[in-house]
């Protein structure tokens, strides 16, 4: 699972009507965490590790 912003005209609910932007992905992660019953930190850790698996050449900083 990863969280991304590939829908430029479908911003999360509090920003509906505005152009979507990468800064809103944190809100999407919060809603996802609430929906599946985990913390936002758990979502952040899970999606970060998945991104490193998917993009294996991406350096860890």
pLDDT tier for residue 7 given thresholds of 50, 70 and 90: confident
Over residues 10-50, the pLDDT tens digits come to 888 888 899 999 999 999 999 999 999 999 999 999 999 99
Question: What is the model's pTM?
Answer: 0.76
Instruction: Identify the pLDDT of residue 48.
Output: 93
Concatenated DSSP letters of 1-60: -------TT---GGGTTSPP-GGGHHHHHHHHHHHHT--HHHHHHHHHHHHHHHTTTSPP
Please tell me the predicted confidence (pLDDT) of residue 12.
Answer: 86
């Amino acid at each position: 699972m990863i969280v991304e912003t590939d829908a430029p005209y479908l911003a999360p609910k509090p920003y509906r009507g505005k152009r979507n932007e990468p800064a809103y992905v944190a809100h999407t992660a919060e809603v996802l965490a609430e929906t599946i019953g985990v913390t936002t930190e758990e979502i952040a850790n899970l999606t970060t590790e998945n991104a490193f698996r998917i993009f294996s050449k991406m350096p860890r900083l």
